[in-house]
Structure 1
Amino acid sequence: MRVRSGVAAALVLATATAGLAACGSGGASGAKAPFKIAFVPGVANDAYYGSVACGIRAAAKKTGSSVKVQAPKSFTPADQVPVVQAVIATKPDVIIIAPTDSKALYAPLKRATSQGIKVVLVDTTLQDPSLAEAEVTSDNVEAGTVAAQTLAKLLGGRQGSVLTVNLSAGVTTTDDRAKGFAQGLAAAPKLTYLGQQYSNNSVQTAASIVSGTLAKHPDLAGVFSTAAFNTEGTVSALKSANKSSAVTVVGFDANPPGIKQIQDGQVAAQVVLKPYDEGVAAATQAVNALTGAPVQKKTETGALVATKTNLGTPEVKKYLYSFTCPAG
């Protein structure tokens, strides 16, 4: 999709096109609310998933349905699979989940559907999402493209190398962000793209990647980080090398620490997704599937870019990630 002028406008277009998608068939049960909704986020203590949970609760409240959140301690299938197994044992009506791996979570979720528990995917997805009633996510390829355009603009025609620090292979959202970034950076011929390296969810590994890249490529001008772990490691490595002012960082983190990184000048920009909107959409489609109403099989929400300049604007503040749910 061609990016129109204006960062926010480009990503909002993804939301509009999602509404044109054909609706899938709803669930056949025709059950009546209230329902037991289980939410399994990618990891505990992450304000992004806190905002998703707020959206789920807001939509569930309309039908009097309950929401129980059970989260793994780390963003890995090794920790998430046992959580899913425990959730299945509680026999919820539906599991809304952000899979930590596109393949490893298929079998346990298939076990859930075989027991009559419906599944809705939120944020991340599966390599084969056919078992799910619906998918709700952001257009992460488009978001990655805009991240590249943002970085190129911030560098202002400067020559140099650019690196992507990614999370781990098999995480659909971050893989798509890296893909979109590579596509977007192709339009900046003065910048040499070094490709991506994986931190495997480790702040220390991310820091080591950036330190090693600085040693090999002293012309490093920019770093694109696909997730909060990577950004934290990147900031640490640049600080240790006294390169914070020489290397421009664009990240994907509107959690409180990510916002502080902007305020402190450690990160030039953060791509901000709309997890609250994702939560509302996921719970809405879950209830539709349970009641037999039409289900939209795939919904894509928009995103925007936060910088020190626009951080205090209502549009950006509205979407900063938080465990505190909006009133109402």
Structure 2
Amino acid sequence: MKLRKSLVAAGALASAAALLTACGGGQIGQSGGDSKPANGKKLMLVPGVQAEPFYISMQCGAEAEAKKLGYELTTQAPQKFDAPMQTQIVNALGANPPAALLIAPTDAQAMLAPIQQVKNRGSKIVEVDTALQDTSVAASSISSDSAEGGKLAAQTLAKLVGDKPGSVLVLDTIAGTSTTNARAKGFEDELKNHPNLKSAGVQFTQNEPDQAATKVTAALSSTPDLVGIFATNLNTGEGAATGLRNAHKIGAVNLVGFDASPSEVEGLRKGEYQALIAQDPASIGQQGVQQAVNALEGKAVTRNLTAALHPITKADLDANAQYFYKQQC
């Protein structure tokens, strides 16, 4: 009897071990093996910051595509473009991971660990807009060609300035933000091809409009021959416009912004900006969902996709209305 009871007990333990193995008992931070999230039709979008027209437009494109393909997409964004805030959101997914996470990493290195943890729980990872420095994590990455966007901004500014000599200031956001850093570099590289223009350097604004305004005020004082400013995103552009407005330099210094938010478009119409480099965030969101679904359904996935860029001046403003960003879906 003792032998029989021992065999039964051993069999029960073996069955329990097999069940745990089949269910995937890995914890966050472990490899997870073949663990797959239970939410097979649920997608999560974590943009860089909430209430920003670029990311709202991305969300609209992603939601429409998810609905079309029979998936449910939920969006949750940090209050600021901040790695610790975004990390809190991503870490909270660990207990109930989505089938796929679409994310715009707020820091190319700091967001690696939390995103990797979600991947370890079985979620597919798709980067939208920004990307991790480690290219092994995401199944696909969709963004504008930021370096090309910076180059396009420099070419546009050079046309606006003409042969007039002078200095040009670049306003970047946060060191470690893949997209804006690449825009700044692309701009600086292209500026070397225009001998009448010289760089006044790159200033970081921490993605805060008031800091951008302060940087512009300081540059106007220290650089009398300032003829142009390139603002690498919405917040730096709005701050730069404020700085120029406060100094009564609107129109005297050419401002080229990146993106086409409602406030930027209105600023271009009023002459506060001389040009905008518009992205297509709705397309980025749409393609992000497509790649996530392809990864989940075992279809072909494209590792890197590039969305188009569109230079807009006041002269062709209305003709490019399809690229204006939304404030709500």
Deviation digits for residues 201-227 of structure 1 (CA, Å, limit 9, x no counterpart)? 121211111111111111100000001
The aligned counterpart of 1:296 is 302
SS in 2 for 1:270: strand
Say if 1:319 and 1:90 are closer, same or farther in 2 by CA, change over 3 A: farther
Q: State whether residues 276 and 319 of structure 1, in contact with CA within 8 Å, keep that contact through their aligned partners in structure 2.
A: no
Q: State whether residues 40 and 95 of structure 1, in contact with CA within 8 Å, keep that contact through their aligned partners in structure 2.
A: yes
Matches of 2:39 and 2:91, distance apart in 1: 24
The aligned counterpart of 2:251 is 245
Q: State whether residues 267 and 273 of structure 2, in contact with CA within 8 Å, keep that contact through their aligned partners in structure 1.
A: yes
Matches of 2:286 and 2:182, distance apart in 1: 23
- Report whether the alignment pairs 1:317 with 2:324: no
Structure 2 residue corresponding to 1:274, chosen from 276, 280, 294: 280
SS in 2 for 1:318: helix
Deviation digits for residues 77-97 of structure 1 (CA, Å, limit 9, x no counterpart)? 021110111233332101000
The aligned counterpart of 2:16 is none
- Report whether the alignment pairs 1:195 with 2:201: yes
- Report whether the alignment pairs 1:222 with 2:225: no
The aligned counterpart of 1:261 is 267
- Report whether the alignment pairs 1:135 with 2:135: no
1:138 CA drift (Å): 0.7
Query: What does residue range 150-169 of structure 1 map to in structure 2 within 5 Å?
Result: 150-169=156-175
Structure 1 residue corresponding to 2:192, chosen from 179, 186, 206: 186
For structure 1, which segment, 67-76 or 298-307, has the greater mean C-alpha deviation from structure 2 after superposition?
A: 298-307
Say if 1:217 and 1:31 are closer, same or farther in 2 by CA, change over 3 A: closer
The aligned counterpart of 1:18 is none
Matches of 1:65 and 1:125, distance apart in 2: 24
Q: State whether residues 96 and 122 of structure 1, in contact with CA within 8 Å, keep that contact through their aligned partners in structure 2.
A: yes
Matches of 2:125 and 2:251, distance apart in 1: 46
Query: What is the TM-score with the length of structure 2 in the denominator?
Result: 0.86
Structure 2 residue corresponding to 1:121, chosen from 112, 120, 127: 127
Structure 2 residue corresponding to 1:84, chosen from 71, 85, 90: 90
Q: State whether residues 220 and 247 of structure 1, in contact with CA within 8 Å, keep that contact through their aligned partners in structure 2.
A: yes
Identity of counterpart residues, as a percentage? 39
1:135 CA drift (Å): 0.5
Structure 1 residue corresponding to 2:63, chosen from 57, 64, 86: 57
Q: State whether residues 166 and 225 of structure 1, in contact with CA within 8 Å, keep that contact through their aligned partners in structure 2.
A: yes
Deviation digits for residues 301-320 of structure 1 (CA, Å, limit 9, x no counterpart)? 1110122111111xx21121
1:29 CA drift (Å): 9.8
Q: State whether residues 34 and 66 of structure 1, in contact with CA within 8 Å, keep that contact through their aligned partners in structure 2.
A: no
Q: State whether residues 54 and 323 of structure 1, in contact with CA within 8 Å, keep that contact through their aligned partners in structure 2.
A: no
The aligned counterpart of 1:171 is 177
The aligned counterpart of 2:106 is 100
Q: State whether residues 33 and 63 of structure 1, in contact with CA within 8 Å, keep that contact through their aligned partners in structure 2.
A: no
Matches of 2:113 and 2:303, distance apart in 1: 20
Q: Give, as a single letter, the amino acid of the residue that structure 1 aligns with 2:313.
A: T
SS in 2 for 1:120: strand
Matches of 2:88 and 2:165, distance apart in 1: 48
Query: What does residue range 59-74 of structure 1 map to in structure 2 within 5 Å?
Result: 59-74=65-80
The aligned counterpart of 1:25 is none
Query: What is the TM-score with the length of structure 1 in the denominator?
Result: 0.87
1:129 CA drift (Å): 2.4
- Report whether the alignment pairs 1:305 with 2:316: no
Deviation digits for residues 273-298 of structure 1 (CA, Å, limit 9, x no counterpart)? 01111111110010010011111011
Say if 1:161 and 1:306 are closer, same or farther in 2 by CA, change over 3 A: same
SS in 2 for 1:250: strand
1:235 CA drift (Å): 1.1
SS in 1 for 2:315: coil
Structure with bigger gyration radius? 2
Which ranges of 4 or more aligned residues in structure 1 deviate by more than 4 Å? 28-34
Matches of 2:46 and 2:66, distance apart in 1: 15
1:244 CA drift (Å): 1.2
The aligned counterpart of 2:8 is none
Q: Give, as a single letter, the amino acid of the residue that structure 2 aligns with 1:148.
A: A
SS in 1 for 2:251: coil
Matches of 1:251 and 1:36, distance apart in 2: 36
SS in 1 for 2:318: coil
